[in-house]
Amino acid sequence: MRVELYTWQACKHCETVRELLRRHGIAFDEQRLDRDRALKHALQRELGQATMPYARIDDELFGGVEEIARRIERGRADSPR
């Protein structure tokens, strides 16, 4: 599973997703959107909603804690053990 996490400084939802990824041992790259407003607006347009955090998981974009958590859990269930 490839994960690119897009976060904002001092975002409790962003920290929740970081902890979820770490707890499951999933490596991720992180980009801070408070440092790149153009990227933030591009992600909002692509997803069609303004939420935090965003995550691109295996080339598919997700937004918000619940949606990202569901995708992570689904990916773990689909992975060979």
Question: What single DSSP character describes residue 39?
Answer: H
Q: Which CATH superfamily includes the segment(s) 3-78?
A: Glutaredoxin (3.40.30.10)
In 8-80, DSSP assigns E strands to: 29-32, 54-57, 60-63
| Tens-digit pLDDT profile for residues 24-43 | 999 999 999 999 999 999 99
pLDDT above 80: residue 79? no
Specify the pLDDT at position 81.
47
Neighbours of 5 (CB within 10 A): 20
Residue 61: burial class (beta carbons within 10 Å; 0-12, 13-18, 19+): middle
Domain boundaries, the chain: 3-78
